[in-house]
Structure 1
Amino acid sequence: MDGSSEKKSTVVETLVIRNIEDKNELKLKLKEIIKAGKDYKFDVFECLKSLLTNSDEEIIILVIQAISELAKSGDKRETYAQKDIIEPILLKLEKEVNSENTELLKQCCRVLGNLCCDCDTGRSVSLESNGVRILMKLIEATLDKDDETFDEIRHLASKCILNFAIGGPEFSVAIQSSIELFNRILVLELDKDDMCDVMVSTSLLILNVINENIPEFIFDENVNKTVLNILRETTNVEISELCLDHLQIQAEQDAVKTLIASEKGLHLVCKRLEQLISKQNTGDLNAEDSEVNYVMKQACDLIIIVLTGDKAMHMLYENGKGEIYAIMERWLDHENIQLQTTAALAMGNFARKAEHCIQMTDNEIFTKLLSKFCEF
């Protein structure tokens, strides 16, 4: 179809939609657009925009679904990522959260998530229209509602925030005020008998995006403690990776090194590393070797980063009687080369203080390190 024919077809399609008077017929047409999704050929932006103010809520929900499906296409996403579309949708999200409007709220979150996915236009319009504040308020309103439907709304709204924040520093700065809210979500998940992995992952991803886009940002101590507690509770390799990502970046700050040491974070990391290696050797891990190896590298790197902090190092050495020091001494003879290397680097950090160095030499750690070096 050439350009003129396509334009003519679009005009005809627009007229067809505008002239539908029967509500059921209009609903069928909207369902047709939803089914076609990103493969729908025509530009019906003006029609869908006008239908957002329809008096029939079912039609409004179908219009929002149609825009959401169309926005899965990059080109169409730019078309619909406009103030005339985003503002009315955000206004609908300001409605009181109750059991009667959950479908509308879910579809609004879905479409906003799609309009902010790899689209700075959608992000900018959302920012200018107080989208972050509205989404945060919506998420907060779901926190005291113990129901799977509200859990889904919370997750969809959180994914909107994530798609928004990924855009870069400007957008990550805009969500800094939401950090405590996502900390609350993580704390709520910790209190459950069975954490919701998708909600935990989304919340951790948001924290990690802020870490990446604003590397100088220091999270409150309670947030870093919560992430450490998630790492303590989870058995999920992917979530462990996200926790380690966050802690590794935050541990560039001496205060966080000390926090991790005082909260026995390295005890936890060492235990997990040994468990991972044991399970990997017996084939009991439900994860790819590459993923496990990456998590192991993160954990080993975190150990060394924490030990570069003077206060943390002294705390963990404990006059040569510390548990972490003993583990590192044991790892010097471990069959796993990654643990051996980590132990050697850890010993180098413990030896930064003269009296530690003398004590380690008296205990023949120097001799053991020298023999290992000769083996390499």
Structure 2
Amino acid sequence: MRNPCVDAGLIQPLVQLLNCRDQEVLLQTGRALGNICYDSHEGRNAVDHAGGAQIVVGHLRSRCTVTDPANQKLMTVFCGMLMNYSNENDSLQAQLVNMGVIPTLVKLLGIHGHNSALTEMCLVAFGNLAELESSKEQFASTNIAEELVKLFKKQTEHEKKEMIFEVLAPLAENDIIKFQLVEAGLVECLLEIVHHTVNSDKDDEVAELKTASDLLVLLLLGDESMQKLFDGGKGSVFQRVISWLPSHNHQLQLAGALAIANFARNDGNCIHMVDNGIVQKLMDLLDRHVGDGNVTVQHAALSALRNLAIPVVNKAKMLSVGVADEVLKFLQSEMPPVQFKLLGTLRMLIDAQAEAAEQLGKNVKLVERLVEWCDAKDHAGVMGESNRLLSALIRHSKSKDVIRSIVHSGGIKYFVTMATSEHVIMQNEALVALGLIAALELGTAEKDLENAKLIQVLHRLLSDERSAPEIKYNSMVLICAVMASEPLHKEVQNLAFLEVVSKLCGHENKTVAQQALLTEQRLAVES
């Protein structure tokens, strides 16, 4: 019956009735409009054109402090009407936000917190609006965090807690609100839930444990809220999170590892955690999930180890307790997210660690797996990380044995492809690795470099005006290095390199211009 009501022109007179002073008439009008808007595009449009939402928001604003039961019932109906009006409609939600409905709804929640029907309607209305970016800024300027935490503390029913969670999750994506929620004491509520539900096998309590621990991890994504909870490593929340790692509950293990990964977002925290033995706890957790273990836990623990390995002082410490060996246990994983984190962790660990890079570079199983993943076209992240780790093994070890191991496994062609990447950092890493190969083991790699069309790629990089200065510089260094190989030298002569290099002698970057002069002399002598 909704569309016939709209077609009959009923909306306009109903909206006019919203200007009436009789409370009972307002109540029934609000119900009628709310029902016509329910799941009806035409109904919402008609109410929009008649200006109904503005009048209802005006009533909410002017009446929100009146606490008699009849007014609370009216406020509940009006909130429900606005919810139906804006449900799953971004532009109408944005319109309500622009009308300033959010501060009014927050005020309603604060004043009428004891009225369960009205608070429920407010929560559903918040849930409707909280996904919008523009709404989050408006929410952040109210005391929503305080009101929601206050309401949350009073709840005993699972359904009510769920409703509040559904509002908290989208709001907690905003860093300012994250901090407000931490200040308002939400974390203590969440830890309390975890404590009470951790050993339960009731479905609703298992769901509550998951939601509470996920939300805690989300709060740690804000730098300010994370630092407050870390509190120099003395924070009770940080201590509690560590105690989750040895738990038998997979959800808690996961939340613990993700929380550590979030705490490990600055060098100071990472150094403190490594010095206080967190690495061993993460390794023990990983060890429990080798093989067919829980993939999300594997991924989270590897994320935490990767972040911890970023500060220079942590690398040697982590290597000395066997992190690389622990990570290698997951080499056979077929799960791309785990592969991606495994590669990133190893790459962070060997940065400027020559001995570790050499050891890993001589590990035939690892090198063969990397070469295989360099072809993982379905998973760009895994493919990129494999290329970068392969190149890092050469760059940090500068070892002939490592180069030979990579040549024998068929890895050379991937460096040449990597040199054409759209990311300058990857291009550069490839060219530096190729430079070392040409300087240390040119004879071994000669055939593969020829087959991979290295010389043509270098010609393209030098001719392309968009190539970054460091790419031009390293390409020319490489040209000079490969001249020692007869077949490659011949290819250089066949392509007009002299012309391209001569143009670069006047390059605005001094280092490039200098290298161009040297390369030009070398080409002139050799031609």
Give the TM-score taking structure 1 as reference length.
Answer: 0.69
1:311 is aligned to 224
Pairing 1:185–2:108 present: yes
1:38 is aligned to none
2-side partners of 1:366 and 1:200: how far apart? 45
1:296-333 superposed Cα distances (whole Å, 9 cap, x missing partner):
33322221122122222221111111010111022223
1:115 is aligned to 36
Pairing 1:204–2:123 present: yes
1:237-291 superposed Cα distances (whole Å, 9 cap, x missing partner):
233223222222222222222222333322221112222446x45x6xxxxx2x4
2:151 is aligned to 230
Pairing 1:217–2:135 present: yes
1:48-87 superposed Cα distances (whole Å, 9 cap, x missing partner):
xxxxxxxxxxxxxxxxxxxxxxxxxxxx210102473112
1-side partners of 2:58 and 2:197: how far apart? 40
1:70 is aligned to none
Post-superposition shift, 1:231? Answer: 2.2
Check 1:347–1:106 CA distance in 2 against 1; reply closer, same or farther (3 A cut): same
Pairing 1:159–2:80 present: yes
Check 1:236–1:197 CA distance in 2 against 1; reply closer, same or farther (3 A cut): farther
Structure 2 counterpart of 1:361, from 263, 274, 277: 274
2-side partners of 1:350 and 1:154: how far apart? 43
1-side partners of 2:283 and 2:88: how far apart? 49
Matches within 5 A, 1:200-279: 200-212=119-131, 214-215=132-133, 217-218=135-136, 219-221=139-141, 222-277=143-198
Pairing 1:130–2:51 present: yes
Post-superposition shift, 1:152? Answer: 1.6
SS in 1 for 2:112: helix
Match of 2:110, as an amino acid?
V
SS in 1 for 2:80: helix
Matches within 5 A, 1:291-302: 291-302=204-215
1:375 is aligned to 288
1:89 is aligned to 14
1:329-365 superposed Cα distances (whole Å, 9 cap, x missing partner):
2222333221121111111222333332233233222
Check 1:82–1:137 CA distance in 2 against 1; reply closer, same or farther (3 A cut): farther
2-side partners of 1:157 and 1:88: how far apart? 17
Structure 2 counterpart of 1:147, from 62, 65, 68: 68
Match of 1:310, as an amino acid?
D
Match of 1:234, as an amino acid?
Q
Q: Which has the higher contact order (CA 8 A, sep 6+)?
A: 1
Structure number with greater Rg is 2
1-side partners of 2:245 and 2:277: how far apart? 12
2-side partners of 1:269 and 1:78: how far apart? 45
2-side partners of 1:198 and 1:266: how far apart? 26
SS in 2 for 1:335: coil
SS in 1 for 2:10: helix
Aligned residues: 284
1:46 is aligned to none
Q: Is the 8 A contact 1:142 1:150 kept in 2?
A: yes
Q: Is the 8 A contact 2:220 2:263 kept in 1?
A: yes
2-side partners of 1:144 and 1:319: how far apart? 44
Match of 2:84, as an amino acid?
N
Q: Is the 8 A contact 1:81 1:121 kept in 2?
A: yes
- In the alignment, structure 2 segments of 5+ residues that lack a partner are 290-527
1:183-231 superposed Cα distances (whole Å, 9 cap, x missing partner):
11110133xxxx222221211111111123x245322342233223322
Q: Is the 8 A contact 1:142 1:151 kept in 2?
A: no
2-side partners of 1:197 and 1:277: how far apart? 28
2-side partners of 1:272 and 1:121: how far apart? 43
Match of 1:220, as an amino acid?
A
Q: Is the 8 A contact 1:82 1:121 kept in 2?
A: no
Q: Is the 8 A contact 1:197 1:239 kept in 2?
A: no
Structure 1 counterpart of 2:27, from 100, 103, 106: 106
1-side partners of 2:7 and 2:83: how far apart? 19
Check 1:261–1:142 CA distance in 2 against 1; reply closer, same or farther (3 A cut): closer
Pairing 1:320–2:233 present: yes
CA RMSD of aligned residues (A): 2.2
1:102-144 superposed Cα distances (whole Å, 9 cap, x missing partner):
4322221221111000111111111121211221233345434
Post-superposition shift, 1:148? Answer: 2.4
Post-superposition shift, 1:175? Answer: 1.3
Match of 2:196, as an amino acid?
Q
Check 1:169–1:346 CA distance in 2 against 1; reply closer, same or farther (3 A cut): same
1:77 is aligned to 2
Give the % identical residues. Answer: 24
1-side partners of 2:274 and 2:65: how far apart? 58
1:175 is aligned to 96
SS in 2 for 1:81: helix
Give the TM-score taking structure 2 as reference length.
Answer: 0.50
SS in 2 for 1:78: helix
Q: Report which stretch shifted further, 165-174 or 111-120.
A: 165-174
